[in-house]
Amino acid sequence: MRILLICGAGMSTSLLVEKMKKEGEKRGIKDLYINAEAADNLEKIIDDYDVILLGPQIRYKEKYVAELTKEKNKVYRVIPPHIYGMIDGAKTLDLAIEALKNK
């Protein structure tokens, strides 16, 4: 599973990415790749990912993300502010897994 978290500059999500990776290891999830990038790079790299998670601070880009993910047959979700604010790697990983299951 390849998960991309997108935010304004690709930096504010790095802590969340690390927590998600640790949670994935704890759960024994194989072939898990998680990365954070700036929203401006999405069009160039979207094909490399299965799930796109949008940081709540750039929810204003949701329409663009929704259109691009639909065009590319990808799935996306907006990370709820309370999960993002708590830097909850487990719940964010659950969000990505559920998004793929319900694709």
Could you read off the pLDDT of 35-90 as tens digits, one per residue? 999 988 999 999 999 999 999 999 999 999 999 999 999 999 999 999 999 999 99
**Which of 13, 56, 86 lies closest to 3 in space, CA to CA?**
13
* Selected catalytic residue, list 3, 4, 6, 7: 7
Segment 1-17 mean pLDDT: 86
Q: First CA to last CA across the chain, in angstroms?
A: 14
Q: DSSP assignment of 81-99, as one string? A: HHHHHTT-HHHHHHHHHHH
Whole-number Å distance between alpha carbons of 83 and 33: 20
Active site residue 21: no
Tokens coding 78: 């907006």
